[in-house]
Amino acid sequence: MKTFLSLMVLTVFGLTACSAPAPTPQPDGVYLVRHAEKTTAKTDPALSDAGEVRAKELAELLDDKAITHIHSTNTRRTRDTAAPLAKRLGLIVTLYDGGDLPAMAAKLKVTPGRHLVVGHSNTTPQLTELLGGDGSTPIYEPTEYDRLYWVTTAFDEPVVSYLTRFGAPYVAETE
């Protein structure tokens, strides 16, 4: 019996000593991005080939960021930018009204988790600012598709925002 008890203590101690430390909790926050490159269609354009590549690069970049919610305006180009990450994570893309950014900011501030919001050149910097982040300079609408914001929204912490780039710099496609 004494041997069995000693073995149990050693086993428990060994498992405890070998286990990985508890993961550091990740802050709640919001990733914000403009839709990827679009075609020149006049009505509700789809993503161009370059846009499809960028949407996949975004999914790869955010795959391990513990995203819990994905939001998009109701346009084909924004939904298609969000789709690869949603598919990869098994999440449903929730539509929001890009014309009511204060309501969206309020919703994001009270909904725990990590969010991806896909918007437009005229909504993404503004929503970043409504969350308390730095929207930086206006997005150059004709060519800038590689801007990615991260805004922390932890309730008891000050807001911190970051701006980075992802994927290849945009180059206009020739037709």
pLDDT digits (tens, 9 = 90+) for 123-151: 999 999 999 999 999 999 999 999 999 99
Task: Give mean pLDDT, residues 25-46.
Answer: 92
CA neighbor of 85 nearest in space, from 76, 98, 72:
72
66: left (phi over 0), alpha (psi -120 to 50) or beta: left
The pLDDT, as a whole number, for residue 122 is 96
Can you tell me the mean pLDDT for 44-50? Answer: 97
Q: What pLDDT shows up at residue 19?
A: 52
Q: Is 169 exposed, middle or buried (0-12, 13-18, 19+ CB in 10 A)?
A: exposed
104-125 per-position pLDDT tens digit = 999 999 999 999 999 999 999 9
User: Which of the four pLDDT bands, split at 50, 70 and 90, describes residue 35?
Assistant: very high
- Distance between CA atoms of 154 and 85, rounded to whole angstroms? 23
| Range of weakest confidence among 11-15, 39-43, 59-63 | 11-15
Q: What is the pLDDT of residue 53?
A: 97
| Ordered domains of the chain (ranges, CATH) | 26-165 (3.40.50.1240)
Going by pLDDT thresholds of 50, 70 and 90, the confidence category of residue 170 is low
